[in-house]
Amino acid sequence: MSGSCLVYLVDDDADYQYLVGQVFNIFLPQHRIRFFANGADLVNAIHSTSPTATELPAAILLDVDMPHMDGFQTLAAIKQQPGWQQINVIMMTNRDQAEYREESERLGAFAFLLKPISLPEIQKEMTQICETGGNFPG
């Protein structure tokens, strides 16, 4: 995988989507980002994408607390989809609770970040995923 990759951001907060989008546009312009308002929207998009598609995301930034389908339900659904099991999912929440971290790890998340995520954190994770291929906890 090269230093440039496609990233999905799944978060129901439009303001947070905007802020993360600006961080990527200004500080991580080599990466492309696609936005989803909730887990259900992402899962619907996954179902309409061929598992052999040439362009699956390298990473998914996934909010834990969302309506319709929370981040844990979404992560479980992602990991059940053929061709999507190796996608690096980074869980995000403003709740620093051990059970959230444990559930994220149990479900196969690549990393767990507290919101608001910092520029050094997201740069580290994107470098690890997009330049080294990821697939090991950060």
CATH number for the domain harbouring residue 121: 3.40.50.2300
Question: Could you tell me if residue 136 is inside a domain?
Answer: no
pLDDT number for residue 137: 46
Determine if residue 108 is left, alpha or beta; phi over 0 gives left, psi from -120 to 50 gives alpha, anything else beta. left
- Report the domain count for the chain: 1
Look at residue 138 and tell me if it is in a domain. Answer: no
Query: Cβ(10)–Cβ(138) under 8 Å?
Result: no
In a domain, 135, yes or no: no
**Which pLDDT value is given to residue 40?**
96
User: Low-confidence residues of the chain, pLDDT below 50?
Assistant: 1, 136-138
> Does residue 137 form part of some domain?
no
| Domain presence at residue 1 | no
Does 25 reside within a domain? yes
Domain hosting 76: range is 6-130
Q: Please report whether residue 105 resides in a domain.
A: yes
Q: Name the residue with tokens 């230093």.
A: 3
pLDDT of the residue at 49? 75
**pLDDT reported for residue 51:** 60
The predicted pLDDT at position 114 comes to 95
Handedness of CA 35, 65, 16, 26 (dihedral sign): negative
pLDDT of residue 136: 46
**pLDDT given for residue 52 in this prediction:** 63
The answer as to whether 66 is a domain residue is yes
